[in-house]
Amino acid sequence: MLFLTVAGSCYYLFHLGYSDYLKKFDQLEGSYDIVNLGNSHGASFDYTSHKINGKGFNKASNTFYYDWQNYKYIKPYIKPGGTIILPVSYFAFGTDENRTDKGLKNSFVHDFYFYLPKESIYDYSHRRKFSIIIHRIKTNFSNNIGQLFGGKNVYKVDWRTDQTKKELDIHAIGKVQKHRQHAIYASPEKNVTLLSRIIEDAAKSGFEVILVTVPFYEAYANGFEPDWLEEHFYQYLNPVKEKYQVPHLDYSNDLRFSTDPSFFHNSDHLNLKGQTHFSRVFFKELGTL
């Protein structure tokens, strides 16, 4: 009886809550005219407010390796002739498959274990899957108890918040330093290959691919000198763009967004107001391509 009680409690806690990211893959239905992949910068696209049949499949800290795996997973749900937005961040070519810059046992890969086939998970292990299940049960328990006492839901990011100019300037200092390190952590060539693989398969499947670098606050964008960007970003991105003849829409230091603190959640992420404004501009310009 005790065993059944414990097992039932664990089963309940396991299914009690999970990230908004996982819910996207749990609720795949119909087909989309437009989708986006990418890391947390991919949260910049607001489909709902503009009544566009699209969906974001971006994940915080995501890599080109898992963009490729996610693309294969959602491919059956993209309409023929549909558009795939590939957000490319300044540091994107320097990250490795499992973001080991965050530590070998970091939580980045956890969500992938719940929907991707094991063959698609880099360095898959049964032991890690078991530990991830236990971690999810513990997280749901803590989250549930915390919310009873007015705490925040650990699975949600509140994009409604914004910061003052001073707060954004301070945030940018730390983020620039961190992202400069990301950019030199792993082999850029491997990421060029993965990005090319997505574009090649999408083209063969009749999809349109758009590369996008989303708006950043000016203090963040200005923290990367032109020479640094050429060495760590454009020298890898531009040959791919030219080889496959895909457009790259670069809003990273676009004055329509970068100078207005009210658009930003932090120095490299738009808040809801910024997402709505940027998406209005982006979808209009996308229609002219």
Structure confidence at residue 287 (pLDDT): 83
Structure confidence at residue 7 (pLDDT): 43
Cα separation, 160 vs 156, whole angstroms: 12
Mark the ranges of the chain whose per-residue pLDDT is less than 50: 2-16, 154-155, 289
Tokens for 156, please give them. Answer: 């949600």
Furthest C-alpha separation in the chain? 67
**SS3 (DSSP) at 179:** helix
Structure confidence at residue 159 (pLDDT): 57
> DSSP readout, 183-232?
TTSS-HHHHHHHHHHHHHHHHHTT-EEEEEE----HHHHTTS-HHHHIII
pTM of the complete model: 0.88
How confident is the model over 78-127, as pLDDT tens digits?
Answer: 999 999 999 999 999 999 999 999 887 788 999 999 999 999 999 999 99
Domains and CATH numbers, the chain: 30-124+156-286 (3.40.50.1110)
Structure confidence at residue 154 (pLDDT): 46
